[in-house]
């Protein structure tokens, strides 16, 4: 209702401007004709002063006609910048000059000065709202004013991929939104929020569900966090907690398991197999030996994992400590959550990466060593990356 009222007001204001500019031009034309007729008797007998007055009136009227036409034509002009919708961002704190410059550079208006002048004349300069806006081809300046003053912003489609940490998610959002990253991280560590979700860890690691979201440019960190958490719970596999209990895992431990699977698996069909290996190792009291958990303990790596890295004294080092790490190492997707509570019915205890995204799975350590040797030979021969 409020938006509809604003539309009516803007349309009324636009029509008043149209009528005003046309009436001004009409009056100027009438006065020009009348003054011409009234001065006819004096053309042969008039003094130099009378001729000057006539010329002055004529010039003023021409200016009036020009101004009236200008006042109507410029706001309703629709520059041709192609046949594709263009997007631009108004940041908080942008002046009317900044906005005019952006619009001019993208070809949406014919001049920056005109935009500034009309925004002030029409009283729009203090009403322009920040956000991301879509400008369609042949949109007039008048329509642009309506879009900006109503805050008719359009959302971003932002994809949060599987396997990101809380910190990586914050960085991604910070690059694309007018976003307070520090506030986002603070909310993700808010003890009241964590307790309400039954999370004993220090942050929301594992709960920021990977998905493609529609976020507005000025979306608040709190709304972003709330949306991602709600998507997490909405996308949990059926009977997730009940299935976890049957596997002797708590809800949170199942999320941890899913995060390990997410970082290890690149092929969906292998997720249940990797899950089976980890579940079997837990039952047999074997260390999980999950490389991604060590990388997480190291704060991330831009290089291969070295043997010396496996010595780090961290509860996330599953080469050194038994059992699951104390928390998730990333945000798992739905397929990994599904695999965490639905492991394949196999006897595998080992797997090794081929280097192409797939793995070789083995039951015994001897088979595992042979698999690693085969992969090394294949890499030397250039058969594997």
What is the tens place of the pLDDT at every residue in 208-217?
999 999 999 9
What does the DSSP 8-state code read for residue 237?
Answer: P
Give 233 or 27, the one with higher predicted confidence. Answer: 233
- Is the pLDDT at 74 greater than 80? The verdict is no
Distances (CA, A) of 327 to 187, 233, 252: 18, 18, 8
**Per-residue pLDDT averaged across 67-94, rounded?**
70
- Is the pLDDT at 78 greater than 70? The verdict is no
Distances (CA, A) of 148 to 15, 84, 209, 267, 329: 18, 19, 32, 46, 42
- Is the pLDDT at 115 greater than 70? The verdict is yes
Residue-averaged pLDDT of the chain = 85
- Is the pLDDT at 326 greater than 60? The verdict is yes
pLDDT score recorded for residue 151: 80
What does the DSSP 8-state code read for residue 302?
Answer: S
pLDDT score recorded for residue 8: 44
Percent of the chain beyond pLDDT 90? Answer: 54
- Is the pLDDT at 21 greater than 90? The verdict is no
Q: How confident is the model at residue 330 (pLDDT cuts 50, 70, 90)?
A: very high
pLDDT score recorded for residue 12: 47
In this structure, what token pair is assigned to residue 105? 């550079």
pLDDT score recorded for residue 92: 82
| E-state strands within 283-355 | 350-353
pLDDT score recorded for residue 10: 46
Q: What is the pLDDT of residues 190-238, one digit of tens each?
A: 999 999 888 888 899 999 999 999 999 989 999 999 999 999 999 999 9
From CA 294, how far away is CA 300, in angstroms rounded? 9
Q: How confident is the model at residue 28 (pLDDT cuts 50, 70, 90)?
A: low
Least confident of 9-13, 110-114, 138-142, 351-355: 9-13
Q: Tell me which residue of 275, 269, 235 sits closest to 254, measured CA to CA.
A: 275
From CA 337, how far away is CA 327, in angstroms rounded? 15
Give 153 or 273, the one with higher predicted confidence. Answer: 273
pLDDT score recorded for residue 7: 47
């Amino acid at each position: 209702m409020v938006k509809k009222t604003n539309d009516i007001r803007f349309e009324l204001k636009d029509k008043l401007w149209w009528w005003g500019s046309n009436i001004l031009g009409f009056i100027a034309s009438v006065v020009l004709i009348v003054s011409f007729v009234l001065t006819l008797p004096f053309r042969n007998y008039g003094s130099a002063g009378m001729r000057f007055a006539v010329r002055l009136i004529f010039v003023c009227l021409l200016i009036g006609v020009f101004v009236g036409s200008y006042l109507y034509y410029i706001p309703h002009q629709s520059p041709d910048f192609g046949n594709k919708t263009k997007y631009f961002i108004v940041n908080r704190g942008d002046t009317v000059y900044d906005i005019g410059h952006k619009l001019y550079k993208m070809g949406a208006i014919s001049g920056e000065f005109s935009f500034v002048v009309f925004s002030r004349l029409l009283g729009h300069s203090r009403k322009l709202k920040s956000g991301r806006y879509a400008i369609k081809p042949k949109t007039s300046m008048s329509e642009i004013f309506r879009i900006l003053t109503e805050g008719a912003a359009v959302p971003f489609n932002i994809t949060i991929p599987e396997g990101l940490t809380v910190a990586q998610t914050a960085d991604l959002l910070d690059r694309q939104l007018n976003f307070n990253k520090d506030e986002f991280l603070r909310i993700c560590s808010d003890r009241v929020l964590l307790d309400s979700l039954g999370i004993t860890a220090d942050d929301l690691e594992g709960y920021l569900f990977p998905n493609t979201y529609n976020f507005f440019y000025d979306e608040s960190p709190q709304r972003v966090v709330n949306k991602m958490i709600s998507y997490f719970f909405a996308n949990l596999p059926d009977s997730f907690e009940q299935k976890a209990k049957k596997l002797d895992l708590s809800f949170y431990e199942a999320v941890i398991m899913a995060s390990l699977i997410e970082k290890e698996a690149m092929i969906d069909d292998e997720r249940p197999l990797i899950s089976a290996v980890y579940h079997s190792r837990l039952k047999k009291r074997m260390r999980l030996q999950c490389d991604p958990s060590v990388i997480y303990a190291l704060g991330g790596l831009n290089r291969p994992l070295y043997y010396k890295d496996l010595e780090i004294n961290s509860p996330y080092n599953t080469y050194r400590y038994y059992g699951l790490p104390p928390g998730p190492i990333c945000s798992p997707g739905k397929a990994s959550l599904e695999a965490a509570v639905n492991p394949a019915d196999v006897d595998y205890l080992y797997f090794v990466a081929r280097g192409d995204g797939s793995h070789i799975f083995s039951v015994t350590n001897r088979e595992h060593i042979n698999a690693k040797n085969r992969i090394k030979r294949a890499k030397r021969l250039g058969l594997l990356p």
